[in-house]
Structure 1
């Protein structure tokens, strides 16, 4: 009887530990991170997302090149909380919240930081010790961005656009934890939505777009899957004589 009770107690403790671990790993993903040097300790002025100089200064320069979270550019603009795990007491409990602005991979890493963002994971006074590691184990999760309002979708006409034959827009700021997985422009003469192409990063484009003011809508998904996504239409139209650099905001409530 005593052996049976001990067995039941052991199984109960095992199941409790399993559930705790399961709940923990559902929140955070384990990986590795490293960093690169730059003259001002900020991000790359080019980058695979297509942000240009914006990708260096957004979120006060706390940005990252990402590997798995990049997802062929769908992850561009997403915010991630990243906490390091060294075992030496260098890491803070809060870590750093960064914006994915580029594709980047180092030594089996998912996050490639500028040195400034990498050091932000450290406790005050331990930045140099953390930088000395070069590569560290981390845990990370997607979090809503807060620096522009968590329910905003912000997009702008991309610098490579060529009026009137080629229109490109770039998703600067996805709302909450939603990804933009589709974009369409309304063609009035056909009474139909025309799909936009995703050539790279956070850019959506269209050859020979309709003339006149343009209505645009975006397909948003919390999982990155088009099968559980929702269309939201921008309340602002893109002017008939659109110009590169013009920015639009869309308040999202889904």
Structure 2
């Protein structure tokens, strides 16, 4: 009887250990600071290459990340971040989008001033929290949500049709990563694997001719991968600076 009870306890302990090590929704302890400037929103020159979109997406609740930047793969990922100073901080914290790379004073996040203050219980306590400059936090990855938005392709201003194409992908919902992108000719379905030049910027020298279709590889933390093909094509006469609606969205 005692041996059976002992074995049961060992089994439960093993199961708990496995759950702890594989938990994708658990909070991770860390620290956060905020951009040391007067802007309430994020920066429009972030390392992800989002431009002005990176300063205002998600209402300006954005952040730079250190290890979570992951050489640009982490660009566009969403995290729930809440500070742990109970005198100032709310239970829910704030949801931020990664738009930049950066760290300081052993932090995982450098939040916009808006997002940093958004972790507080009240506006008065937000002022006190901002005065700290750096605070202990806990965070976890969560799904991004962009109601009534499809995944959108923004052609970078550095592009020159038909010699060079660079673009970023906006409004990706869920919490999967885009780890590869192919650019395909719609007439003969010949595809070309693109390079990630930096951040979330995908590039192609001598891009295929004609209307172009994208194939995006979505990867999950568990290792599962899925190719997704937009409904709408990038037109043959694409223009630098323009945005093109893909016609598709993902939910997780």
Q: Please indicate, yes or no, whether the TM-score normalized by the shorter chain is above 0.5.
A: yes
Q: Who is 1:235 aligned against? A: 231
Answering whether residue 112 of structure 2 is matched by residue 114 of structure 1, we say yes
Q: 1:166 to 1:122 in 2, by over 3 A?
A: same
Answering whether residue 167 of structure 2 is matched by residue 179 of structure 1, we say no
Contact 1:232 1:252 in 2 (8 A): no
How many residues in Structure 1 have an aligned counterpart in Structure 2? 244
What is the TM-score when the length of structure 1 is the normalising length?
0.85
Instruction: Give the Cα–Cα distance (whole angstroms) in 2 for the partners of residues 249 and 83 of structure 1.
Output: 33
Q: Who is 1:30 aligned against? A: 29
Instruction: Give the Cα–Cα distance (whole angstroms) in 1 for the partners of residues 89 and 120 of structure 2.
Output: 4
Q: 1:224 to 1:49 in 2, by over 3 A?
A: farther
* 3-state SS of 1:215 partner: strand
Q: 1:148 to 1:158 in 2, by over 3 A?
A: farther
Instruction: Give the Cα–Cα distance (whole angstroms) in 2 for the partners of residues 137 and 50 of structure 1.
Output: 28
Q: CA deviation at 1:213?
A: 0.8
Instruction: Give the Cα–Cα distance (whole angstroms) in 2 for the partners of residues 141 and 173 of structure 1.
Output: 20
Q: 1:42 to 1:252 in 2, by over 3 A?
A: closer
Contact 2:185 2:210 in 1 (8 A): no
Q: CA deviation at 1:93?
A: 0.2
Contact 1:181 1:221 in 2 (8 A): yes
Q: 1:25 to 1:93 in 2, by over 3 A?
A: farther
Write the deviation string for residues 43-80 of structure 1: whole angstroms up to 9, x where unpaired.
11201000111111111111111112111111111111
Q: 1:21 to 1:135 in 2, by over 3 A?
A: farther
Q: Is there any run of 5+ residues in structure 2 with no aligned partner, and where? A: none
What is the TM-score when the length of structure 2 is the normalising length?
0.85
Write the deviation string for residues 137-185 of structure 1: whole angstroms up to 9, x where unpaired.
11111111123458x4322212211111001120112231111100111
Q: Who is 2:243 aligned against? A: 246
**Structure 2 residue aligned with 1:164, among 155, 162, 165?**
162
Q: 1:252 to 1:114 in 2, by over 3 A?
A: closer
Q: 1:37 to 1:63 in 2, by over 3 A?
A: same
Instruction: Give the Cα–Cα distance (whole angstroms) in 1 for the partners of residues 220 and 169 of structure 2.
Output: 16
Q: Which range is displaced more, 188-197 or 229-238?
A: 188-197
Q: 1:221 to 1:36 in 2, by over 3 A?
A: same
Instruction: Give the Cα–Cα distance (whole angstroms) in 2 for the partners of residues 21 and 67 of structure 1.
Output: 26
* 3-state SS of 1:126 partner: helix
- Alignment RMSD (CA, Å): 3.0
Q: Who is 1:103 aligned against? A: 101
Q: CA deviation at 1:223?
A: 2.0
* 3-state SS of 2:71 partner: helix
Alignment of 1:78-227 (within 5 A): 78-86=77-85, 88-124=86-122, 125-148=124-147, 152-187=150-185, 191-223=189-221
